[in-house]
Amino acid sequence: MPNPKRRHSQQRSAKRRTHYKAFADTLSTDSATGEMHVRHRAHWVENKLYYKGKVVLEKQSAEK
């Protein structure tokens, strides 16, 4: 397997890594529940799964 003949400089590595940026997720307030959630993701509120302000799924309780 080929290896570099000389060591690459730290500046060369830093130039390559300049485009890797950390960013915060965008949050929205749900119109139906008023809860904060990550945009374009379904979220659970009181055993109900909401997406775009509508109930998509309800969690069944284990009552007998």
User: Which tens digits make up the pLDDT trace of 16-28?
Assistant: 888 878 889 999 9
Residue-level pLDDT at 46:
92
Quick one: DSSP state of residue 31?
Answer: T
> Which of residues 50 and 20 earns the better pLDDT score?
50
Average pLDDT, the chain: 88
Side chain identity, residue 46: E
**Dihedral of CA 30/36/38/39: which sign?**
positive
Question: What's the pLDDT band for 35 if we cut at 50, 70, 90?
Answer: very high
The reported pTM is 0.59
